[in-house]
A and B are shown apart, each in its own frame.
Chain A
Amino acid sequence: MRKEQSMNAYHFSFCDTLCHALPSGALYLPDDKVLCVSDLHLGKSERIARRSGVMLPPYEVQETLQKLERDIVATGPDCVICLGDSFDDLDAAASLDEDMQLWLARLQAGKRWIWIEGNHDPGPVDLGGMHLNETRIGTLTFRHIATADSGEISGHYHPKHRVTGRSRPAFLFDKERLIMPAYGAYTGGLSSQSADLRRLFSKPIMAIMTGHKAIPAPVR
């Protein structure tokens, strides 16, 4: 790990597994050399244009892959898990630009790459890597939407947390589950205070805010 990255990441233990929350919103498990990112929502601008005619700046795939590349270079993982909603829908996955496909292939080279299915991309996509419903690493289960299981890492909700008036995408976790922030460039978020999120956790709940530096804070 590069020095700067290691300084700005937050190290903690979750279900007896050492975790590094990166300021970008990725999670790195140093013992297993696994890098996990959730809710990339690649192709979102394409899907919005197709559906509504509104044409957002078509640069979010580039922006997201660039961020992912930086994290991969910094951590050097053996395995990358994309925790669902990697694509905004299956058509968006199918119509990914050729140079973006090549970029993805470059990132995948030499590592295990797991696409977990999400509600936006419920099915295999025509890209390299494994397509799974869920996967296990050590004692941890990785799936898109949280269940009642313990030792679970999921995504889907795009949690955000607010301290001193500033709201940022955040990891949320308690003793049993961890929910990842959305990693994609064009993603909004759901407040850590919302009922939908609160009912998934039992106290004490922790948040790790992303940004320039991963900063932990308790959720009250």
Chain B
Amino acid sequence: MSTLPPKFQNWFASRGWDIHPHQQQMLDLTHDPALMLIAPTGGGKTLAGFLPTLIALQDGDHRGLHTLYVSPLKALAADIKRNLRTPVAEMSLPIRIEDRTGDTSYTQKRRQRADPPHVLLTTPESLALLTSYEDAPHIFKGLQRIIVDEIHALAESKRGDQLMLALSRLQSLAPDMRRVGLSATVEDPAAIARELAPHPAECTIINADPGPDPDIAMLVTDEKPPWSGGGAKYAIPAVLEEVKRHKTTLIFHNTRAQAEIFFHSLWLANTDDLPIGIHHGSLAREQREKVESAMVAGHLRAIVCTGSLDLGIDWGDVDLVIQVGAPKNVKRLVQRIGRANHRYNAPSKALLVPANRFEVVECVAALEAVKAHDLDGDPKGPGPRDVLCQHILITACAGPFDADTLYQEVTSVGAYAALTRADFDDCLDFCATGGYALRAYDKWKRLLQRPDGQWQLRDPRAAQRIRMNIGTIQDTDTLKVRLKGNFKPLGEVEEAFAATLTPGDTFLIGGQVVRYESLKEMTVQVSRRADKKPKIATFMGTKFANSTQLSQRILRMFDQPDWPNLPAHTAEWLALQRRYSKMPEADRILVESFPHEGRHHICVYGFAGRNAMQTLGMLLTQRMEEEGLHPMGFVATDYATLIWGLDPVTDPAPLFKGDNIRADFETWLSGNAVMKKTFRGAATIAGLIERNLPQARKSGRQATFSSDILYDTLSKYDPDHLMLQITREEAMRGLVDFGRIEEMLTRTEGRIDHLILDRVTPLSLPMFLEMGRVSVAGAAQERILEEEAARLMDAAGVTQL
């Protein structure tokens, strides 16, 4: 066991601290090539990670970079810098600590490259950028340790894959580098550990004491939750009461739009003028920073927020976490709850607020899962190849490279360990020539192979463009929102939303109602307007699908003879469903048919999660259209799909034949909007499409065209192209989620219960109020467009000029 040096012992003693067992273990195993620590928030995780670094640097002998710290959030890097300052100052350690993110100044960044600090705090994107410079060997020479914070969050996305590829590069530049991962509680720590360690090395997992179980309950209100919607407006008075009873409350929402609406209503009801702030990713940086510093200073009683506050930043004395809307995933809920009460060994306190009647069921199921320590998660696929393509381009920016060496490096990354040489060569060929069946770019290759066999950029100036497009975060096109005559932006809205606005429309942003005035130079000009009911901004809030495990729990709950564990209003609702129709069951598909407002409706209960139910909606309506049933549209939730149309469905069974669905899926997939969206993401990451940079968008009026055109062209002329392979692979897992449709078909094996009823059923009722209705594309849509155009023609009184 390694003991603490005297300086450190004294410092611990002066604070009245004992070293935690997991901190000691981290110290003992500091020479392991890879280590992962799993600890709850407030468990001294950061210190555990940095202690070996601080000790190693106490003599002031080390020259250059010693430890690199990577976190998913810029704010977290800044926070850690603040927290490290205390021990460094109090022990007078000769250590230089700096951060480097998108917000760091140009001169600071240049200086860091020439003269790196001992400890550099950064993000995966900034690190990837650093590795793209010619002087990367100089910057990373002598690097000893890399600490990846909140690795569980990174591991869920392509950012994690990019980071691990960058690590493989660093390992070659600094062979002594050891890796440390810091993680919150996850369902499969070994999987993350495998990604962290250089393949095939082992990674020891250290588990800190998880602390007491959280004190978590569902908020019970006098008011019944509504049938549908995500606003939870009914709970505002009860939530305000809770805010008053606690020092600081975090109020989490699943989407930005919901956070905006809730904040607005909360503010209207806030007669005591409690200081309450809002924080989400669409707000301008200045706005967010203001809220963050007010929070740290303890000036706020509550913050309405989204995932942007999800990660382990120390916001001070939070003693209550409220989750509005059902948590779609138990793991995420547990991590959010961990935000309350940053004192080790004190239980976190949390309240769940169901936004509607069905979410009551979901919340109760989630609570039971938390009690049972039953975390959920889906196994990750192999390392995505679009990220690999970007990595190859980044490598080329740093200078000529050898393909064999790069392949060795790449396969040392856990997620890419099984990558075949042929797959690697496809990616390299894509980067070099575009990888098209039609070898059109012999003259204008992006990468050339030199006589000595090394690869390099044809045009070194291309490095600049490649660097500008580094990163794997998918951003939708957004426009800044500014008050008229004011320079400071309020935040951003999606371009698609802005396109639906006409002057005079109002919407919510940053808790204010604003009036749309005009669009000027890619900025939405607005004025303040408090007197009108807002039209709501449809921010791109990620709608997570219910996890498989949570869906299964809900189905088991439905199977109960009665529901003493649910509030009376919800139990009665389910009893009504059982009386008038029947409860959905895990091994059968329930299909209800009923008329409503002159249209025939069918409601299909598949419990496959939102994305899969959406895909099912597309597939079923396509088949119905072929059978002449004139479907007009559908809407999907995590548990069901509701379809309406002109003709009744008399026998739904054939619609669900596995072979039919699979065959339809093949045809449907190629022309699908979700595929196009997925393609756009993958193609941007792989460097086929350049990001819509602000300066380019300003000048490039009609120069830019939709990536959908590229997708269509490629599908038509080059269907086996690498980009289409990647798109398919990804969509199957993500937004299309066909895997869960397959799971549903296997689980139910053609057992379909079809009930023909004379009116809307209790369980289907919320579907009618659900947002996000999809109208069926094809003949019907053409007809609607044509009719609307004709109506406009009539209204304008012109048929011919």
Contacts and interface: CB of A to CB of B under 8 A. Distances in A.
Interface of A: 12-14, 45-46, 49-50, 52-60, 62-63, 95, 97, 157-158, 162-167, 173-175, 182, 185-190, 204, 206, 209, 211-213, 215-218, 220
Nearest to A174: B801
Given A52-B462, A166-B785, A188 B704 contact: yes
B690 A54 contact: yes
B744 interface: no
Interface string B683-711: 00001111000000000011111100110
B500 interface: yes
Interface in B705-736: 705-706, 709-710, 713-714, 716-718, 721
B716 A59 contact: yes
A218 B706 CA distance: 25
Nearest to A156: B702
A63 B444 contact: no
Given A13-B800, A186-B705, A53 B710 contact: no
20 contacts: A12-B800, A14-B801, A50-B443, A52-B465, A53-B465, A54-B446, A54-B688, A58-B438, A63-B717, A158-B702, A163-B792, A186-B709, A187-B702, A188-B701, A188-B703, A188-B704, A189-B702, A204-B798, A206-B798, A217-B793
B268 interface: no
A216 B440 contact: no
Contacts of A163: 785, 788-789, 792
B441 interface: yes
Given A55-B433, A55-B444, A57-B714, 7 more contacts: A50-B443, A53-B462, A54-B690, A56-B688, A185-B709, A188-B702, A189-B702
B389 to A, nearest CB: 12
Interface residues of B, number: 47
Contacts of A56: 434, 688, 710
Nearest to A50: B444
Interface in B586-624: none
B520 to A, nearest CB: 10
Nearest to B689: A54
Question: Which of A46, A56, A185 has the most C-beta atoms of chain B within 10 angstroms of its own C-beta?
Answer: A56
Question: Which of A52, A57, A63, A167 has the most C-beta atoms of chain B within 10 angstroms of its own C-beta?
Answer: A57
Contacts of B500: 165
B784 interface: yes
Interface pairs A-B: 4 shortest CB-CB: A55-B434, A58-B440, A188-B705, A218-B796
Contacts of A50: 443-444
B788 A164 contact: yes
Given A55-B433, A186-B709, A206-B801, A216 B789 contact: yes
B499 interface: yes
Contacts of B688: 54-56
Contacts of B801: 12-14, 173-175, 204, 206
A220 to B, nearest CB: 8
B789 A212 contact: no
B778 to A, nearest CB: 9
B702 A63 contact: no
Nearest to A15: B801
Contacts of B714: 57, 59
A59 B439 CA distance: 11
Contacts of A220: 792, 796
Contacts of B690: 52, 54
Interface string B758-791: 0000000000000000000000001011101100
A54 B434 CA distance: 8
Contacts of A49: 434, 441, 444, 446
Interface of B: 433-434, 436, 438, 440-441, 443-444, 446, 457-459, 462, 465-466, 499-500, 687-690, 701-706, 709-710, 713-714, 716-718, 721, 782, 784-786, 788-789, 792-793, 796, 798, 800-801
A5 to B, nearest CB: 16
Nearest to A168: B785
Contacts of B689: 54
Contacts of A54: 446, 465, 687-690
Contact of A46 (B440, B459, B789): B440
A63 B687 contact: no
Question: Which of B499, B721, B784, B786 has the most C-beta atoms of chain A within 10 angstroms of its own C-beta?
Answer: B786
Contacts of A12: 800-801
B782 A57 contact: no
Nearest to A196: B701
Contacts of A217: 789, 792-793
B702 A216 contact: no
Nearest to B705: A188
A70 to B, nearest CB: 14
Question: Which of A12, A46, A58 has the most C-beta atoms of chain B within 10 angstroms of its own C-beta?
Answer: A58
Given A186-B709, A188-B706, A204-B796, A215 B789 contact: yes
Contacts of B465: 52-54
Nearest to B784: A164
B30 to A, nearest CB: 44
Contact of B440 (A45, A53, A164, A206): A45
Nearest to A161: B789
Given A46-B444, A164-B785, A165-B500, A190 B436 contact: no
Contacts of A204: 796, 798, 801
Nearest to A162: B499
Nearest to B701: A190
B716 A63 contact: yes
A189 B701 CA distance: 8
Contact of A59 (B438, B786, B793): B438
A53 B788 contact: no
A189 B704 CA distance: 8
A63 B705 contact: no
A45 B801 CA distance: 39
B796 to A, nearest CB: 4
Contacts of A158: 702
Nearest to B788: A164
A39 to B, nearest CB: 9
A182 B702 contact: yes
Contacts of A59: 438, 713-714, 716-718
B789 A62 contact: no
Contacts of A173: 801
A52 B165 CA distance: 25
B204 to A, nearest CB: 44
Contacts of A55: 433-434, 436, 441, 444, 446, 688
A66 to B, nearest CB: 10
Nearest to B465: A52
A173 B800 CA distance: 11
B229 to A, nearest CB: 23
A114 B691 CA distance: 37
A175 B500 CA distance: 29
B439 to A, nearest CB: 9
B397 to A, nearest CB: 11
A175 B788 CA distance: 23
A103 to B, nearest CB: 14
Nearest to A48: B444
Nearest to A12: B800
Contacts of B782: 211-213
A182 B789 CA distance: 21
B436 A58 contact: yes
Contacts of A209: 785, 789
A153 B440 CA distance: 35
